[in-house]
Chain A
């Protein structure tokens, strides 16, 4: 077989009786697979030449991609089988038997008492190792570690069967060579020694295992403690020190305490702090903006979100407008309390920014409210949304922002 051909011919593990050699060859030369198989059997009967050729091909031909329209099942590395596995096993067994008989016929023969047990043990090993798929062959654990229970049970059964064959083979070898009684004594003696050692050192081993587990637990705990301490030191302790130094400025103290409370709460209850490029969802984005405005203007902003969705350009603009509305409320309302409510429903996203402060007369918007007109209303209009302001002197202010949702 020239290398050029062998490069083209690949085994077909997905379409095989034994190893996919015949179907690989059949596909490469575009003939019916059964013709190739018949030829292989005929060659095998002709003094075993076919068997050797087959074995060589099996070893040399790379396993090709499955050529059928059936994609291979993902079963934890187990190969896709077309026929029952017993068929494969029988075929392998028949081949081994054929090889052995062929070699025996040629007279290259040690002794029945040697060869048959070795063959038996070899068959056992083959059963065990053939079970492991190509990428799993390096670990015995891979054999038993298949994905689903059924195949794991089958694998286990195979391992047991294979082991039994190997043990049987070894025992047969020993029995046939009259070494069995000596072996039995040796086995008994070593079992006695091992048992004695286990009894003597058992407590020590147990203690060692317990000590190791305890040490590991302690290490984990101390690592956690260290992390906690580091976090508290960077945040809470710093803030407390700052508060002591600015005790004469109650507003600053309140702002610091609030900021710290929020940070600590986020840390404790596992809300991940916003990523550097900003949160990707509306709820967290609004919360982050509210937090920022609280920090800047010392107002208390409560954010309630019902429903949530991913941010797109429109919603980024909506969040920016909401931020402006929060700043306005924090600066002008004079009460220091702002409620923000957002909801996602019926193809629309709306955000309500409410304060119960002094309110103002819309007709006489002062210089201070330019932000409202430019930042909020113009920005919303550009996004195809709206910004409504509801306010009156003494009534507080509510800014309602709406944008239609782009269906994704």
Chain B
């Protein structure tokens, strides 16, 4: 069954490009160019996945997620951005997005990422993995050991992703199943969303001097 996708981006051109690139691999059930439009559209069409631009007029991608979650709890979000700013990316992930990719991603890769999010897994680009490693390895005064520590296995997985390894290659490298890699990544995403490190994004943004 094809994934029902909703596109949110303030650039008409980009939306058209994504539609063309994804072709028959997904069913685009709607698109929107700003926050209000997106919220009403998503609530009425109830898609499987929303491809969400981080920077949107009217409050940004974060506010779309925050306003939709109560009325459409099953919708999953994949964040998409041209920005490399850590606080944008981490902000939208903490709001509840299941992954983050850059806008320069190729068509087939984007299709794969959408499928993965639709199945409930997390999509970590190398850059997001780097942000998370940076944020979680900085010493934190307000550390909550329950969620604030990545296990060494999780760190290994993230480092391989940051090095540019696809999930399959990560699994091969660590001699674990691809399914286990997914589990680790989802667990990291969960910690990222629950962590009480209020300044997580700032930590990631300001590269610390070791």
Contacts from A to B (Cβ < 8 Å) = 261, 265, 269, 283, 300, 302, 304-310, 338-341, 343-345, 352, 354, 356, 398
Q: How far is the CB of B99 from chain A (nearest CB, A)?
A: 16
Q: How far is the CB of B136 from chain A (nearest CB, A)?
A: 10
Residues from chain A with Cβ under 8 Å of B85 in the complex: 269
Q: For the complex, give the distance between the alpha carbons of A283 and B159 in Å.
A: 16
Chain A residue nearest in CB terms to B166: A356
Q: How far is the CB of A319 from chain B (nearest CB, A)?
A: 16
Contact of B162 with A by CB under 8 A = yes
Which residues B118-138 have CB closer than 8 A to chain A? Answer: 126-127, 129-130, 133-134, 137
Among B133, B134, B164, B207, max chain A CB count under 10 A is at B164
Q: Do residues A304 and B209 form an inter-chain contact, with CB atoms below 8 A?
A: no
Contact of B210 with A by CB under 8 A = yes
Chain B residue nearest in CB terms to A283: B207
Given A265-B82, A269-B85, A306-B162, the answer on whether A341 and B126 have CB atoms closer than 8 Å is yes
Residues from chain B with Cβ under 8 Å of A338 in the complex: 164
Q: For the complex, give the distance between the alpha carbons of A354 and B159 in Å.
A: 13
Contact of B84 with A by CB under 8 A = yes
Q: For the complex, give the distance between the alpha carbons of A283 and B137 in Å.
A: 17
Which residues B36-85 have CB closer than 8 A to chain A? Answer: 82-85
Given A269-B83, A302-B126, the answer on whether A354 and B163 have CB atoms closer than 8 Å is yes
Contacts from B to A (Cβ < 8 Å) = 82-85, 104, 126-127, 129-130, 133-134, 137, 159, 162-166, 169, 207-210
Q: Do residues A305 and B126 form an inter-chain contact, with CB atoms below 8 A?
A: no
Residues from chain A with Cβ under 8 Å of B207 in the complex: 283, 305, 307-308
Q: For the complex, give the distance between the alpha carbons of A309 and B130 in Å.
A: 16
Q: Do residues A341 and B82 form an inter-chain contact, with CB atoms below 8 A?
A: no
Q: Which of B130, B163, B208, B209 contacts A310 (CB 8 A)?
A: B209
Q: For the complex, give the distance between the alpha carbons of A398 and B208 in Å.
A: 27
Q: Which of A302, A309, A343, A344 contacts B159 (CB 8 A)?
A: A343
Q: How far is the CB of A400 from chain B (nearest CB, A)?
A: 9
Residues from chain A with Cβ under 8 Å of B210 in the complex: 307-309, 344-345
Q: Do residues B134 and A306 form an inter-chain contact, with CB atoms below 8 A?
A: yes
Q: Do residues A302 and B164 form an inter-chain contact, with CB atoms below 8 A?
A: yes
Q: Do residues A341 and B162 form an inter-chain contact, with CB atoms below 8 A?
A: yes
Q: Do residues B164 and A269 form an inter-chain contact, with CB atoms below 8 A?
A: no
Residues from chain B with Cβ under 8 Å of A339 in the complex: 126, 163-164
Given A269-B84, A304-B127, the answer on whether A341 and B137 have CB atoms closer than 8 Å is no
Q: For the complex, give the distance between the alpha carbons of A308 and B162 in Å.
A: 15
Chain B residue nearest in CB terms to A337: B164
Q: Which of A269, A306, A308, A356 contacts B133 (CB 8 A)?
A: A306
Q: How far is the CB of A98 from chain B (nearest CB, A)?
A: 62
Q: How far is the CB of A183 from chain B (nearest CB, A)?
A: 64
Among B82, B127, B162, max chain A CB count under 10 A is at B162
Residues from chain A with Cβ under 8 Å of B130 in the complex: 304-306, 341
The 9 A-B pairs of least Cβ separation, nearest first, read A339-B164, A304-B130, A308-B207, A341-B163, A354-B164, A306-B133, A352-B163, A304-B162, A304-B126
Q: Which of A265, A309, A356 contacts B84 (CB 8 A)?
A: A265
Q: Do residues A306 and B126 form an inter-chain contact, with CB atoms below 8 A?
A: no
Q: How far is the CB of A224 from chain B (nearest CB, A)?
A: 20
Chain B residue nearest in CB terms to A340: B164
Residues from chain B with Cβ under 8 Å of A305 in the complex: 130, 207
- A-B contacts, 10 of them at CB < 8 A, read A261-B104, A265-B83, A265-B84, A283-B207, A304-B162, A306-B162, A307-B207, A309-B210, A341-B130, A356-B169
Residues from chain B with Cβ under 8 Å of A300 in the complex: 104
Residues from chain A with Cβ under 8 Å of B126 in the complex: 302, 304, 339, 341
Q: For the complex, give the distance between the alpha carbons of A6 and B138 in Å.
A: 61
Residues from chain B with Cβ under 8 Å of A356 in the complex: 164, 166, 169
Given contacts A269-B84, A306-B133, A345-B137, 18 further A-B contacts (CB under 8 A): A269-B85, A302-B127, A304-B127, A306-B130, A306-B162, A307-B134, A307-B208, A307-B210, A308-B207, A308-B208, A309-B210, A339-B163, A339-B164, A341-B164, A343-B159, A354-B163, A354-B164, A356-B169
Q: How far is the CB of A260 from chain B (nearest CB, A)?
A: 13
Q: For the complex, give the distance between the alpha carbons of A406 and B158 in Å.
A: 27
Residues from chain B with Cβ under 8 Å of A283 in the complex: 207
Residues from chain B with Cβ under 8 Å of A265 in the complex: 82-84
Q: For the complex, give the distance between the alpha carbons of A240 and B134 in Å.
A: 37
